[in-house]
Amino acid sequence: MFKRLRNLLLSGMMLVLLVACNTETVHHDYTFTGEGNKWSAEYVQQASEKFSSKKGKTTDYETWKNVTFQLRYKGKQTDLGEMKHFKYTYKGIAGGGGGTMEGAVSAETLKSVSSGSGAFEWEDSVIKVEVEWDGQKEQFELMIRK
């Protein structure tokens, strides 16, 4: 009888602890795409928000994201080697990035990967891309295509 009572009390205490502390994770995994006349780009985001609550009140909040930005030239890849000056930037509501290169441009260098905590892009975000090369300039937007 004592063992049964102890097991019931232990089970009840575990249930109270599980109900008192709750953790919820929300994922924001999106792929933004877009293109101009000479360039196209893709921004792939895997982000999450983790909410921890105790007794119905949020006690902790943290975010995490992994982002890959890929810029592609729509012409012949051999044309990239002939460029002398190249610059690209991208910017959304959560920040942005970019790069500058002198001399031959390699297709492998037109990809960037980052991760960390902080702000991330939302489903309705628009990411603005600007590419400059040898006196030419192109601008376009990345969005989620539905």
pLDDT digits (tens, 9 = 90+) for 77-92: 777 777 888 999 999 9
Q: Where are the beta strands (DSSP E) in 36-116?
A: 39-54, 57-73, 85-92, 95-102, 111-116
Per the structure block, which two tokens stand in for 65?
A: 């994201």
Q: How far is CA 22 from CA 10, 49, 50, 117, in A?
A: 19, 14, 11, 21
Look at residues 42, 37, 40, 97 and name the one whose alpha carbon lies nearest to residue 69.
42
Q: Is residue 32 classed as helix, strand or coil in its secondary structure?
A: strand
Residues of the chain scoring pLDDT < 50: 8-20
Residue 6's pLDDT is 52
Residue 4's pLDDT is 62
Q: How far is CA 77 from CA 4, 81, 82, 89, 106, in A?
A: 74, 8, 10, 20, 9
